[in-house]
Amino acid sequence: MGLVLKLFVALPGILLALTIHEFSHAYSAYLMGDPTAKYEGRLTLNPVKHIDPIGGLLLLLTTLFGGGMTFGWAKPVPINPYNFRNAQDGTLITSLAGPVSNLIAAALCGLLFRLGIIPLHPTEENLFIQILYLFVFIFLQVNIGLAIFNLIPIPPLDGSKVLYGLLPTELAYKYSVFERKYAFFLPLIFVILIASNMLNFILFPFYSFFFKLFTGIPLF
């Protein structure tokens, strides 16, 4: 497939995956008692409301040139844990909702391949089949990448909030203090991980696991 066609197909797949991720955060927060995201206009399926320029661009570039492994992020959904009926449980469920929704979407894509509804290695000359295959394949890749990347336990990613929700109350409080105190420096970790290619090294085994789980095809 040419790069232009891949770009044409990748963009809607990326926007849809990001929207699923952030809408799931917003909706779960609303169900748990926090209407902040709704009041901020984030309880919507409009992708424009959820795009983060840097995270979206990184996701597009890794989709086009990353050799299969993708990662990136969207604009974080605002939540107020004081509105939750239980702050830790609400934070945990809301934070997990995004990655879990992406894994469910990826699993459904994998099911299309496993059932033979879409051939995993299309040979047909039919352009529609080629485009459909490419869209579903990229959509699967992006959803897996979004899920595992956002579960890294480093603020402001979802994984840090998941860790907060799982910790005992006293440790959770200390962790939140640590997070606020060093919030400015923590993003530098991502710069180092990306620049050194360590991020790809760390995430690829998880990515490969889910890819094989959903499609039945090993990546190596």
Residues designated as active site: 22
For residue 35, how many other CB atoms are within 10 A of its CB?
Answer: 14
Task: Return the H-helix or E-strand segment holding 208.
Answer: helix 198-215
Residue position matching structure tokens 């790069």 = 3
Q: In one letter, which amino acid is 47?
A: P
Question: Quick one: DSSP state of residue 185?
Answer: T
Which of helix, strand or coil describes residue 123? coil
Those residues whose C-beta lies under 8 Å from the C-beta of residue 62, and which sit 6 or more positions away, are 69, 70, 71, 72, 145
How far is residue 154's CA from residue 121's CA, in Å, rounded to a whole number? Answer: 37
Please, what is the angle between helix 87-114 and helix 158-166, to 10°? 120
Dihedral of alpha carbons 120, 125, 129, 134, sign: positive
How far is residue 156's CA from residue 150's CA, in Å, rounded to a whole number? Answer: 9
